């Protein structure tokens, strides 16, 4: 009985010590370190003026105007708190309907990533094919030569990281800001 | 494209194989106290906690202390979650969690499941994330390591009846393994764009002029340990699909590697502790075979276009920066290990890829598995395999020189079979009553898959989900909470009981008549037993879930 | 008994009758796996009254057959034991005994004899109970227990003093001190062992039983959650009642999945393991001992009788310088004429074989035989007449240990030649025993006596080595001799100049290192070691103490049989392991028969059309009914098909564990996956042809 009580007392003290060590000291030290080393990255990769940020380079924004490149569909409609996915399976009638609706809006040849919603609902990227697919529309809406738009797309395209990790992608928010910056 | 995918998968495997020996060796040294370069800190912790680190414990004492630690941990976490409204570091002024959800969450993190019936950015204060969840992210894998150590000592000790000191095992696991790795990893993550701050959420004015709340918080420090400790509970609701949790392909690669890193290396640690590294490699090999088979099957399935929507690439629920291969690699790895973090939505996986994920969990989380937990779970299968195979060579089965007798067989089947049985019973209940069915997001066979997956995840202490299922209901919070507790301790307690009975046995020296457990043949045999015993058991239910879904998909039918 | 062949014409009808008697629920409860089948059969039979169909009737019948087949397997194994028990029982019929009390003889029934009583047995008297000869010597017919018709000698003192109740004295008169009360004798223990083999479960059997029950319980969960999932699926598909989850179907699925094959054969395997021992005339005191035999990794073997033929034999003559070999041979033969030891006789024979010397007959008054004594350490002959019977100077021929002869010769003023000394040393070094022969003061030469290693023993030991069993030779010889014989016989280690105490110590030391040790023994001083060994095989010719101490008795008193005992033990475990693997591997095919059958219509696009899950019917079975029926029939028939294997044991080969494992996995694991696919398909075709489904 006494030894059981001892166990619980040790356990309590251990939880307190671990909380101080791993729950406070560790995350606070990491915060300090990250703020010192990578303030931009550690604070959400925000863009625009600090007082009035225009968003995060990592978080997708909703774009509906034809003059902008559109991001991938978001099940949470680009709400970031909380974010979410459709969670629809392969035999889901809702998914089939959503894809049909998007095909109707985008055209029957729209690339896969524009027809299917992202996992986070905040995917900041589209595939280069999806960007190319939208070049004509954006160029027309902005009355710009498609070549110029294509040029901006190319500039905003990232290849796989280090040449082999992940997929080629285009950051929609940065691309749209570079379009807006043309004026 | 395909070549790049193959290259990335091969790099992942190569990195895993290359890192296993050095980290395994390091862990063997520090866990057994042979290398104590942080001795002052270690000793200070012992004194602060009142730990007598040299006192050897019997399996009963070891288990008793472990339960005490989990009970206290559960109570403290429950209090923090429910009381976060009154606690600091709550810039969004989030209220305390409701009891059922808090209970479910506390159990979830204490048991290393990290099932999440909430969305972090909408429900938890920074204090809860740090002082509540992060702490359990460190100590719950440490408990896994401790149980594994106790069991290994049962096999290797030749004299005495004790299995070690639980407190020393916990402290060393955290201090020498989890904390240093987490510090390194957290810095890399923060550099790649994972947020690490204590600021309130930022409201941005979007380019099109709308308002968008952007969540903040000390995410990198938690994500580092969430991956390394096979916890898997995301800082944000969508877990590692979230650009703030997993912003680049590099973070994706490292987070993937971090899931397998410690469980894989522990096979090597095991090899060193038992004095025969090939024993460790045999287990590594068996795990690798199962991993590779699951990954290949998933990838193949996921590469087939959905015949209903005719969209060529299955990007639903996936992120552009990762693509299909990195998503199925993750869905395989996270379910092989009892991690449960996701970088794509498993609910939207093709039926067969979803089935592989579910089956990985149902095999008992032994394909590398949880930190420590994968090893002791796998050792239960090893006992079963050795028992059946040992009979076939005409000797009373023995493992590492110690005989496997009725008591060990009984305990091993309890550890392996009870969770399996309960998954089906719980799923049968949920699929029969309105409280279970009303939470479904998908109809048709996929709905049954959602239920099966949820209970597999809870009892297997995985934590991933077919997330369409609405699980923040009293029915699911309680059923799944109970499932997580049972799933954790129905393996831990028998494992430690086996340690207790094994440590007393005299070991027979190996001879040509003992069948070797350090060969490729044994690895293959182990894989066969795992598949035949566990996979076959789930086949009837899987036939009505994912297999039916696959078949109706081929017919073009929707629900 | 060992000679008696199994009479199947009697055995099978009896086993069939017993199969039905074993339907008694009290019998069924003992085997949980088969109990599930039994209950399933009852349940299915009851449903016949509410929903009768040809299909349900056939399922019910085949489930009953499954239960009966399992009973039959057990009854067959028991039947063989029973036949032996009956034979033994005939030997135990009540007899009258002649009890000695205060010097007077009285006739009492053998059942009245108590431990310590003295009885007299003369020619043709049955020995009334187990005991020890304390006076006299007699030839005894032990055929009743050993099946060996040649009589054996039993005498007081020494290691051949034990007699067994139920045997018969053939000649002479002995006095026996009874050592067992009625019902506790050796024969009684043998009978209860043979009959009651199935009653005591061995440790591995218990452990395997736990595994089988666990798998059964697991599949109970898998099968009985299926109605819930099926109901969900019917709802989802919008098709009510298309999945057949009636009792006969669920029970069929369950019975096919639980390990009925091994469950049905488990006790038969155990019984037949003990039976195989008995067939080799080894009586184990428990099934546990049989199983332990398979685990043995150290064999302690007495040199004499086990590794070598019982005695040393003369193999060559080495004459001293200037002496003809024939002269040496003649002297050696003469000196051995009175030597009735096997060594002495072998010298006589060798001289005859090599030099055509016939053993001569002397009139007792013409010669003095000098017997061997511990003091002189030599023996010989003094001949007072020549070949024609005429008196002559007495020839004193002696043979003996080199040292003894040297002293004797030198005492008389002779010389011991160095060449002879060299020959003596060479023979010793080679593991032989040198005997020096001298006539008067002249050393004639050396006889080489050699231990003759039994034919084939070396191969046997190398097999044992592959099986992971280390052999240790125990001998009273000096280390040099022992080493030479050890090398010749191919044993791994030897203990020279061993005493019974050293044997005991050695066993304890091996056990402390985790080894399991087996040994044979017959003497009273072997008893402690026999008791300490994990498997102690006592020779039936040995003392009562030795027979009590060991956990097995070899009725043939053949020490080499220890090797067979080990093999039988291994075979027992292997058979269990192989059939367990086979049983579980069978499940794959049964799934592919039953699951598509159950869900064939589910998610069909049109009512009546086959559903998409029918694609899982990869065997192309005719109909859902025929598929389920075929699986159940296969499951029942495989029990019958494997009974011979269960009784015979799987083939045993002395190879390393890895090869044995690989071989058994391929045969019983892979075979277990493939066989039912073929079997179920064939049965399905047959059912269709017979219009049964």
The whole-chain average pLDDT of chain B stands at 95
The pLDDT value recorded for residue A140 is 96
Of B392, B445, B545, the CB nearest to C664: B392
pLDDT per residue as tens digits for the range C142-162: 777 666 667 777 888 766 788
The mean pLDDT of B153-180, rounded to a whole number, is 96
The mean pLDDT of C339-343, rounded to a whole number, is 78
Do B551 and C515 lie within an 8 Å CB cutoff?
no
> Chain B contacts of A60, Cβ < 8 Å?
243
Same domain, A64 and A153: yes
The whole-chain average pLDDT of chain C stands at 86
| Shortest CA distance from A32: residue in chain B | B197
Do C587 and B557 lie within an 8 Å CB cutoff?
no
- Examine the residue annotation and report whether C302 is marked as an active-site residue of this protein: yes
Do B509 and C515 lie within an 8 Å CB cutoff?
yes
Same domain, A165 and A75: yes
Q: Is the minimum CB–CB distance between C201 and chain B shorter than 8 Å?
A: no
Interface test with chain B among C588, C657, C660, C667, by most B beta carbons within 10 Å: C657
Give the chains touching B; criterion: ≥3 Cβ pairs < 8 Å. A, C
Same domain, A22 and A66: no
| Shortest CA distance from A113: residue in chain B | B315
Of B50, B244, B318, the CB nearest to A13: B50
Residue A125: in which H helix or E strand, if any? Answer: strand A125-126
Q: Is the minimum CB–CB distance between C570 and chain B shorter than 8 Å?
A: yes
- pLDDT band for position C273 (cuts 50, 70, 90): confident
Residue A70 clears pLDDT 80, i.e. is over it: yes
The pLDDT value recorded for residue C92 is 66
| Shortest CA distance from C590: residue in chain B | B536
Residue B178 clears pLDDT 80, i.e. is over it: yes
Distance from CA of B42 to the nearest CA of C (A): 38
Same domain, A140 and A65: yes
Distance from CA of B60 to the nearest CA of A (A): 11
Q: What is the count of structural domains for chain A? A: 2
- Strands (DSSP E) contained in C486-592 are 493-495, 517-521, 535-539, 552-554
Residue B91 clears pLDDT 90, i.e. is over it: yes
> Chain A contacts of B228, Cβ < 8 Å?
none
Same domain, A78 and A121: yes
- DSSP characters for C376-422? T-EEEEEEEE-TTS-EEEEEEEEEE-HHHHHHHHHHTT----HHHHH
Q: How many CA atoms lie within 13 A of C664 on its CB side?
A: 32
| Shortest CA distance from B509: residue in chain C | C514
Residue C543 clears pLDDT 80, i.e. is over it: no
Distance from CA of C612 to the nearest CA of B (A): 6
pLDDT higher at B367 or C401? B367
Interface test with chain A among B319, B451, B471, by most A beta carbons within 10 Å: B319
Exposed, middle or buried: residue C485 (CB in 10 Å: 0-12, 13-18, 19+)? buried
The mean pLDDT of B547-556, rounded to a whole number, is 95
Given C130, C275, C302, C339, which residue is catalytic? C302
The mean pLDDT of B413-419, rounded to a whole number, is 96
Tokens of B343: 């970088």
In this complex, whether A and C touch, counting 3 or more CB pairs under 8 angstroms, is no
Same domain, A161 and A80: yes
Do B72 and A86 lie within an 8 Å CB cutoff?
no
The pLDDT value recorded for residue C4 is 45
Do C574 and B533 lie within an 8 Å CB cutoff?
no
Distance from CA of B212 to the nearest CA of A (A): 7
| Shortest CA distance from B535: residue in chain C | C588
Distance CA C393, CA C358 (A): 23
The mean pLDDT of A6-14, rounded to a whole number, is 95
Same domain, A68 and A145: yes
Q: Is the minimum CB–CB distance between C678 and chain B shorter than 8 Å?
A: no
Q: Is the minimum CB–CB distance between C509 and chain B shorter than 8 Å?
A: no
Instruction: List the domain range (segments joined by +) for residue A23.
Output: 2-42
Distance CA C565, CA B122 (A): 72
Helix, strand, coil share (%) of chain A residues, nearest 5: 50, 5, 40
Residue C317: in which H helix or E strand, if any? Answer: strand C308-319
- pLDDT band for position C286 (cuts 50, 70, 90): confident
Same domain, A154 and A100: yes
Distance CA C641, CA B64 (A): 51
The mean pLDDT of B414-431, rounded to a whole number, is 96
The pLDDT value recorded for residue C468 is 81
pLDDT per residue as tens digits for the range C390-410: 788 888 899 888 888 888 888
Map tokens 């022969």 to a residue. Answer: C437
Q: Are A88 and A31 in contact (CB under 8 A)?
A: no
| Shortest CA distance from B314: residue in chain A | A112
What are the φ/ψ torsions at residue B4 (nearest 5 degrees)? -65, -40
The pLDDT value recorded for residue C8 is 74
Distance CA C569, CA C538 (A): 17
Residue C310 clears pLDDT 80, i.e. is over it: no
Do B243 and A23 lie within an 8 Å CB cutoff?
no
Give the chains touching A; criterion: ≥3 Cβ pairs < 8 Å. B
Same domain, A136 and A55: yes
Q: How many CA atoms lie within 13 A of C142 on its CB side?
A: 26
Residue C170 clears pLDDT 80, i.e. is over it: yes
- pLDDT band for position A86 (cuts 50, 70, 90): very high
Q: Is the minimum CB–CB distance between B98 and chain C shorter than 8 Å?
A: no
Residue B389 clears pLDDT 90, i.e. is over it: no
- Max mean pLDDT range (B267-271, C24-28, C427-431): B267-271
The mean pLDDT of C107-130, rounded to a whole number, is 85
Distance CA C500, CA C523 (A): 10
Distances (CA, A) of C72 to C113, C264, C291, C503: 41, 9, 24, 46
Q: Which of C367, A87, C234 is nearest to B469 (CA)?
A: A87
The pLDDT value recorded for residue C198 is 45
The mean pLDDT of B162-180, rounded to a whole number, is 97
Distance from CA of C670 to the nearest CA of B (A): 11
> Chain C contacts of B544, Cβ < 8 Å?
226, 229-230, 232-233, 599, 602
Give the end-to-end CA distance of chain B in Å, rounded to a whole number: 34
Distance CA C237, CA C485 (A): 81
> Strand order of the sheet with strand C298-302?
C282-284, C552-554, C535-539, C517-521, C298-302, C470-474, C493-495
Interface test with chain B among A91, A109, A133, by most B beta carbons within 10 Å: A91
Q: Which of B350, B335, B497, B338 is nearest to B410 (CA)?
A: B497
Lowest mean pLDDT among A156-165, B49-58, B366-375, C115-124: C115-124
Same domain, A86 and A8: no
- pLDDT band for position C2 (cuts 50, 70, 90): very low
Same domain, A91 and A130: yes
The pLDDT value recorded for residue B255 is 97
Distance CA C487, CA C304 (A): 15
Do C661 and B521 lie within an 8 Å CB cutoff?
yes
Q: Which of B37, B151, B146 is nearest to B402 (CA)?
A: B151
Residue C217 clears pLDDT 90, i.e. is over it: yes
Lowest mean pLDDT among B166-170, B511-515, C382-386, C433-437: B511-515
A-B contacts (CB, under 8 Å): 379
| Shortest CA distance from A30: residue in chain B | B221
Do B247 and A161 lie within an 8 Å CB cutoff?
no
pLDDT higher at C686 or C113? C686
The mean pLDDT of C278-286, rounded to a whole number, is 81
The pLDDT value recorded for residue C196 is 61
Residues in contact with C44: Cβ distance below 8 Å, sequence separation at least 6, in sequence order: C56, C59, C60, C63, C247, C248, C251
Same domain, A167 and A92: yes
Restricting to B residues 359-398, those with a Cβ less than 8 Å away from any Cβ of A are none
Do B221 and A26 lie within an 8 Å CB cutoff?
yes
Lowest mean pLDDT among A155-159, C65-69, C529-533: C529-533
The pLDDT value recorded for residue C194 is 65
Distance from CA of B79 to the nearest CA of C (A): 37
Model confidence, pTM: 0.89
Residue C524 clears pLDDT 80, i.e. is over it: no
Does the model's ipTM exceed the 0.95 cut?
A: yes
pLDDT higher at C414 or A130? A130
């Amino acid at each position: 009985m006494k030894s059981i009580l001892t166990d619980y007392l040790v356990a309590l003290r251990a939880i307190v010590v671990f909380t101080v060590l791993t729950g406070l000291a560790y995350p606070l030290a990491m915060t300090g370190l990250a703020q010192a080393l990578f303030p931009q990255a550690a604070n959400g990769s925000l863009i625009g003026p600090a007082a009035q940020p225009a968003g995060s380079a990592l978080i997708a924004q909703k774009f509906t105007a034809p003059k902008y490149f559109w991001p991938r569909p978001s099940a949470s409609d680009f709400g970031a708190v909380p974010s979410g996915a459709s969670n629809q399976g392969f035999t889901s009638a809702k998914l089939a309907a959503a894809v049909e609706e998007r095909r109707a809006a985008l055209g029957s040849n729209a690339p896969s990533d524009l027809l299917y919603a992202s996992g986070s609902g905040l995917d900041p990227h589209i595939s280069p094919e999806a960007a190319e697919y939208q070049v004509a529309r954006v160029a027309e809406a902005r009355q710009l030569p498609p070549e110029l738009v294509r040029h901006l797309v190319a500039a905003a395209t990232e290849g796989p990281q280090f040449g082999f990790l992940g997929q080629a992608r285009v950051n929609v928010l940065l691309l749209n800001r570079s379009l807006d910056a043309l004026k | 494209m395909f070549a790049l995918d193959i290259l990335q998968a091969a790099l992942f495997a190569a990195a895993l194989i290359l890192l296993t020996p050095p980290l395994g060796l390091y862990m063997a040294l520090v866990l057994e106290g042979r290398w104590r370069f942080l001795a002052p800190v270690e000793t200070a912790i012992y004194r602060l906690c009142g730990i007598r680190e040299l006192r050897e414990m019997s399996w009963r004492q070891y288990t008793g202390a472990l339960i005490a630690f989990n009970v206290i941990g559960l109570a403290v976490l429950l209090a923090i979650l429910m009381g976060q409204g009154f606690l600091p570091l709550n810039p969004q002024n989030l209220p305390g969690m409701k009891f059922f959800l808090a209970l479910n969450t506390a159990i979830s993190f204490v048991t290393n499941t990290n099932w999440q019936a909430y969305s972090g950015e909408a429900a938890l204060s920074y204090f809860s994330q740090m002082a509540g969840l992060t702490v359990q992210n460190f100590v719950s894998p440490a408990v896994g390591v401790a149980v594994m150590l106790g069991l290994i000592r049962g096999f290797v000790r030749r004299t005495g009846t004790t299995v070690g000191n639980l407190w020393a095992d916990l402290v060393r696991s955290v201090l020498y393994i989890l904390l240093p790795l987490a510090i390194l990893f957290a810095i890399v993550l923060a550099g790649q764009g994972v947020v690490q701050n204590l600021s309130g959420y930022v409201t941005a004015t979007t380019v099109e002029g709308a308002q968008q709340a952007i969540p903040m918080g000390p995410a990198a420090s938690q994500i580092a340990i969430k991956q390394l400790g096979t916890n898997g509970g995301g800082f944000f609701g969508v877990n590692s699909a979230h650009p703030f949790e997993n912003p680049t392909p590099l973070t994706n690669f490292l987070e993937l590697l971090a899931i397998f890193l410690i469980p894989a290396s522990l096979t090597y640690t095991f090899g060193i502790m038992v004095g025969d590294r090939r024993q460790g490699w045999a287990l590594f090999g068996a795990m690798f075979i199962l991993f590779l088979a699951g990954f290949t099957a998933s990838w193949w399935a996921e590469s087939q276009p959905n015949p209903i929507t005719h969209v060529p690439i299955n990007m639903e629920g996936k992120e552009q920066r990762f693509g299909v291969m990195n998503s199925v690699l993750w869905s395989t790895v996270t379910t092989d290990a009892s991690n449960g973090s996701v970088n794509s939505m498993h609910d939207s996986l093709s039926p067969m890829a979803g089935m592989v994920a579910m089956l990985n969990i149902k095999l008992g989380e032994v394909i590398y598995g949880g930190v420590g937990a994968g090893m002791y779970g796998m050792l239960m299968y090893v006992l079963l395999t050795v028992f059946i195979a040992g009979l076939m060579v005409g000797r009373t089965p023995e493992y590492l020189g110690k005989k496997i007798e009725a008591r060990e067989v009984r305990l091993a089947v309890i550890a392996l079979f009870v969770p399996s049985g309960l998954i089906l019973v719980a799923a049968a209940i949920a699929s029969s009553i309105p409280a279970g069915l009303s939470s479904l997001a998908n109809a048709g066979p996929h709905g049954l898959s959602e239920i099966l997956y949820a209970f597999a995840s809870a009892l297997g202490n995985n934590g991933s989900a077919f997330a369409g299922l609405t699980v923040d209901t009293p029915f699911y919070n309680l059923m799944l909470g109970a499932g997580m507790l049972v799933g954790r301790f129905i393996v831990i307690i028998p494992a430690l009981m086996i340690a207790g009975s094994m440590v007393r046995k005299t070991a027979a020296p190996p001879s040509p008549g003992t069948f070797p457990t350090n060969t490729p043949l044994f690895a293959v045999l182990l894989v066969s037993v795992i598949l035949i015993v566990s996979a076959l058991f789930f086949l009837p239910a899987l036939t009505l879930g994912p297999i039916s879904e696959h078949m109706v998909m081929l017919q073009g039918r929707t629900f | 008994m060992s000679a008696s062949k199994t009479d199947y014409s009697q055995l099978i009808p009896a086993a069939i009758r017993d199969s039905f008697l074993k339907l008694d629920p009290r019998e069924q409860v003992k085997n949980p796996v088969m109990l599930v089948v039994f209950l399933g059969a009852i349940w299915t039979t009851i449903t016949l009254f509410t929903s009768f169909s040809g299909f349900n009737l056939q399922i019910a019948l085949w489930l009953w057959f499954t239960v009966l087949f399992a009973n039959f397997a057990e009854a067959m194994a028991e039947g063989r034991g029973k036949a032996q028990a009956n034979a033994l029982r005939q030997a135990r019929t009540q007899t009258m005994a002649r009890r000695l009390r205060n010097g007077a003889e009285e006739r009492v029934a053998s059942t009245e004899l108590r431990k310590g009583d003295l009885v007299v047995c003369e020619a043709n008297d049955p020995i009334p109970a187990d005991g020890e000869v304390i006076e006299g010597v007699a030839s005894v017919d032990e055929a009743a227990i050993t099946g060996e018709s040649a009589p054996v000698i039993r005498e007081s003192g020494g290691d051949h003093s034990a007699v067994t109740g139920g045997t018969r004295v053939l000649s002479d008169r002995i006095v026996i001190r009874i050592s067992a009360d009625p019902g506790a004798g050796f024969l009684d223990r043998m009978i209860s062992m043979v009959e009651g083999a199935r009653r005591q479960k061995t440790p591995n059997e218990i452990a395997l039983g736990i595994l089988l029950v666990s798998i059964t319980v697991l599949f109970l969960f898998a099968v009985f959650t299926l109605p819930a999932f099926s109901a969900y699926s019917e709802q989802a598909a919008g098709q009510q009642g298309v999945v057949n989850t009636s009792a006969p179907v669920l029970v069929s699925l369950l019975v096919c999945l639980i390990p009925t094959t091994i469950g049905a054969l488990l006790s038969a395997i155990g019984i037949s393991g003990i039976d195989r021992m008995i067939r080799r005339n080894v009586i184990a005191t428990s099934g546990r001992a049989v199983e332990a035999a398979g685990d043995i990794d150290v064999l302690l073997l007495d040199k004499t009788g086990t590794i070598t033929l019982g005695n040393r034999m003369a193999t060559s003559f080495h004459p001293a310088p200037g002496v003809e070999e024939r002269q040496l041979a003649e002297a050696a033969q003469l000196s051995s004429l009175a030597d009735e030891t096997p060594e002495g006789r072998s010298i006589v024979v060798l001289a005859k074989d090599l030099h055509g010397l016939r053993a001569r007959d002397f009139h007792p008054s013409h010669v003095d035989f000098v017997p061997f004594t511990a003091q002189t350490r030599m023996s010989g002959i003094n001949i007072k007449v020549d070949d024609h019977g005429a008196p002559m100077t007495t020839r004193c021929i002696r043979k003996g240990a080199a040292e003894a002869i040297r002293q004797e010769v030198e005492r008389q003023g002779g010389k011991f030649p160095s060449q002879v000394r060299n020959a003596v040393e060479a023979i010793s070094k080679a593991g032989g025993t040198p005997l020096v022969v001298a006539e008067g003061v002249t050393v004639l030469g050396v006889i080489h006596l050699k231990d003759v290693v039994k034919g084939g023993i070396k191969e046997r030991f190398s097999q044992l080595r592959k099986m992971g069993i280390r052999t240790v030779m125990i001998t009273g010889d000096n280390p040099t001799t022992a080493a030479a014989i050890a090398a010749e016989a191919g044993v791994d280690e030897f203990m020279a100049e061993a005493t019974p105490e050293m044997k005991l110590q050695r066993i304890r030391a091996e056990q402390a290192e985790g080894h399991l040790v087996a040994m044979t023994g017959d003497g009273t001083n072997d008893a402690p070691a026999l008791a300490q060994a994990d498997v102690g095989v006592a020779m039936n010719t040995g003392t009562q103490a030795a027979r009590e101490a060991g956990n097995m008795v070899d009725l043939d008193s053949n020490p080499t049989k220890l090797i067979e005992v080990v093999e039988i033990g291994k075979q027992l475990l292997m058979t269990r392991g192989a059939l367990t693997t086979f049983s579980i591997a069978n499940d794959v095919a049964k799934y592919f028969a039953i699951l598509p059958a159950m869900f064939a219509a589910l998610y069909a696009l049109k009512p009546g059309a086959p559903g998409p899950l029918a694609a899982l019917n990869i065997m192309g079975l005719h109909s859902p009914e025929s598929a389920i029926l075929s699986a159940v029939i296969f499951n029942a028939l495989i029990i019958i098909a494997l009974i011979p294997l269960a009784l015979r044991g799987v083939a045993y080969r002395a190879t390393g564990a890895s090869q044995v494992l690989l071989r058994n996995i391929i045969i019983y694991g892979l075979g277990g996956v493939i066989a039912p696919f073929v079997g179920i398909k064939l049965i399905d075709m047959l059912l269709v042809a017979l219009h049964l489904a």
